[in-house]
Structure formats: C-alpha cells, structure tokens
Chains A and B, each alone.
Chain A
Amino acid sequence: MPRLSATQRHSIRFTLNGTPVQGEAEPRMLLTDFLRHVLGATGTHVGCEHGVCGACTVQVDGALARACLTLAVQVQGCEIRTVEGLAPAPGRLSILQEAFRRHHALQCGFCTAGILMSLDAFLRAQPDADEAALRDLLSGHLCRCTGYAPIIAAALDAAARLRETAHA
C-alpha cells in the first residue's frame, strides 16, 4: 500500500493521446494543472475548477472526466485523450471538428475543447443520438457565446457524417 507524501513530488506516468508521458506531481495536483503546467498540453482549458463549466472535460480510459475533479495521481497508468488527440494529422481536422467550423459552433473557443471531448466519446457510443440526447449531454457544458444552437447543428451534422463513414 503505497502512501504518497503530501510534501513530495511523485512520478506520474500515463498515455496521453497514444504517447507515453511522465512528470512529477504532489498528490494534490489536479489533472488540469498536470496536463497544462507539467506536460505543456494547454488544449484542455480551465474554467470554474469545481466541475460545473465542463471546459476541462477529457477522456480517461474512454470515459468522460472533468480534469479539474481528477487528481493526477488517480490516472496513473491510464489512457488519457485530450483535444490535441482529435485531429487525424497535422493540418487536418476530424469530422467533428470540421462540423464545428462549418456551423460556426464556437466563437471565443474557451468551452470548445471540453465539448469536443464529450461529443467525441458520446457519438462513438451512440452514433444515432438525437437532438434531445445531445442537449442532455451538453447540459454538462457552459458556453456563453453561441447559445448552443450551432453546437447542436454541428453535432447532428457530424453524427450523420460519422454514420456515413462507418457504413462506407
């Protein structure tokens, strides 16, 4: 039973978007700060820091997680996916990201990384998701620019295109 001391930094290893990463953190360090400050992966944004706004949403072993409600020590050995892992190649956007651009589903972009991670996981699990299900999912995110309508439009469009791709 390892006991990690509060005052020391401990080695944390996990896989970030398919690449093994390592850094040091006190037990109290949030995953948001570990990603941004230790690893320099600043795509994950920090909004409210108490689990309400959804800006920091990432995927831990395929499941959605608020990175601000997750300690870095809790994800030892896990597979983490962040917004940096969505694009298939440098200079190319994923189907979901393309839909966001086409529908103007972002303005300032602060909430976007978290919303993309939620939709990415959700559309994989429920490719036939309807608008009601998408609105329910998006209730876990705050966006102060768009009024959500273009986000819903982009998500429905992406869902349809992803279904076509799956059948092709």
Chain B
Amino acid sequence: MKPAKFDYVQAEALDEALATLRAEGEGARIIAGGQSLLPMLNMRLARPAVLVDIMHIAALAEATATTETLRIGAAVRQAALLARPSLHPLLAAALPWVGHAQTRSRGTLCGSVAHADPSAEIPLVLLALQGEILLRSARRARRVAATDFFTGMMQTARHEDEMIEAITIPQPRTGEGYAFREVGRRHGDFAIVACAAAAHATGVRLAIGGVADHPAARELPADSAQWDDALDAFAHALDARDDLHATATYRRQLVRKLGRQVMQEAAACRA
C-alpha cells in the first residue's frame, strides 16, 4: 500500500497554506501530524493532488490558555498537550485513549477534528464541552460551534478552501464535573462506544461517540432517577448499526450502561 502521486508544499506561513487551498480547491489536503491522513493515502481512500504541510508554521504550534478558554493551534501534537502540567480534566481523561503513544507523538488535535471519525475521542470532547472550531480561508475566518461542525461520517461543515486554524474549549468551571469512558476491543483500538459527560447544577451534558455516523450530545436531567429512561431514548435516537465490531443492540446497551457510569462519575466530581 503506497500513496498515489501528489505534489507537496511545505508552507512557512498561514497565508501560503491558505493560498494553496484557494488555488487547488478539493484537490488540496492539509497534512499536519498525518496520523489519520497517511492511512487514507496508503489505502488510496484519499488521492489529493497536493498536500500542504502546516507543521512548519510556528504560529499554529501554540496552545494558549486564558481563564476562559484553551486555544489549541492546528500544529499542536496530542503528546505535547498531554504533557502540559495542567490540562482540562476531560481532555486529560480522553487523550490517553487517542490511538497509541506511537501515534499521539505525531498526531494533532485539530487533525483528528478535521478527520471527524465517528468514534474519535477529541471530537467527542469538543462536543461535550461545547467547544468551537476556528476555520480560516484566504477570504475570511469564522467560528463554528462543535455542535454544528460534525455533520456525518467523516463529514464536517468545513468548506473546501478552509482549514482548521485552531480549536477552543472552555476552561473547567466551578460547579462542573467531567468524566470519560470508552469500550473497545483493545486499548487504542477504535471505540465501539465512547462517552464523555459534563455535569453542572441543572443537568448533565452527555456526548456519545462510535454509535451514530458522527458524535452526538444531549442535555440530560440532573435527577438520576430519570437517567435510565433518558439514556434509553438517547440510545435509540442514535441510529446504531451492526458491523464487524459490535451489533446495534450491544452498542445501545453500552450507551445505557457506560452513559450512566460517566454521568455518575461526572456528577460525583462536581467541584
């Protein structure tokens, strides 16, 4: 398995990358860490005419935290973020489940968001925390809520001439609690079901990955007596399918059981 032929542009500045995207349209693909794109290239599921390498654009390699938000640039690698002394507890819980140490060392957070695999952890966390995706083209910049960004199986609201410049997630708030759990065949495999929960005073926001064709989130009531019914309704709304890894029935059962566990854990650690 070898990639088909492509030109390779090593962009030194954001403008250069954006100009190439504008000129080439759908023939161009951004490459950052390459840990999702290279398998697609090797299997020839993607055949871009030109790859635009953004890892040499210094401004994109920064993760900056304010009291309100954490902004993660497009060239920030998963391992680099995980090594930070303080990190949002939900990201800290989910990142070790992203691939393996051998891929987190190169893979970026924004790359995983752009790839939008339905079982991926980083899109799930972004959705649970109601983060935003900062898109930029040569024409304009815009912010899209995670809730509106993931539109289908590896489909997003990104236009062909746009790239993800950064993602932002709100910093942990007082009175909120967070939890993450995932079930897969082996650690590091694609999740059969992944759950992320953010509990607050008036309810719990639960995000589910690996079931529908893109991650989905719901606000569930704070009263745990209502959770079983609410989780059952959520599980059935996700349009689970049978595949090689699990049946739809098993996936729905995981949503009920794993969903309840993360909701309990998130509610229990509300600070």
Contacts and interface: CB of A to CB of B under 8 A. Distances in A.
B164 to A, nearest CB: 19
Interface of B: 1-13, 16, 31, 34-35, 38-39, 41-43, 49-51, 53, 55, 79, 96, 99-103, 105-106, 186-188
A68 B35 CA distance: 10
Which 7 pairs from chain A and chain B are nearest by CB? A140-B100, A27-B8, A6-B5, A69-B38, A50-B39, A140-B102, A63-B105
Given A1-B10, A69-B34, A64 B101 contact: yes
Contact of A66 (B55, B96, B102): B102
B188 A140 contact: yes
A79 interface: no
A137 B103 contact: no
Interface residues of A, number: 36
Nearest to B49: A6
A65 B106 contact: yes
Given A27-B7, A139-B186, A70 B102 contact: no
Contacts of B102: 54, 57, 64-66, 118, 140-141
A71 B34 contact: yes
A6 B187 CA distance: 37
Given A64-B105, A136-B187, A139-B186, A28 B6 contact: yes
Interface of A: 1-7, 26-30, 33, 49-51, 54, 57, 60, 63-66, 68-71, 73-74, 118, 122, 136-137, 139-141
A136 B99 CA distance: 11
Contacts of A65: 102, 105-106
Contacts of B13: 1
A140 B3 CA distance: 23
A29 B38 CA distance: 11
Nearest to A5: B7
B38 A68 contact: yes
B5 A28 contact: yes
Nearest to B186: A139
A28 B87 CA distance: 36
A28 B48 CA distance: 11
Contacts of B2: 28-30, 33, 49
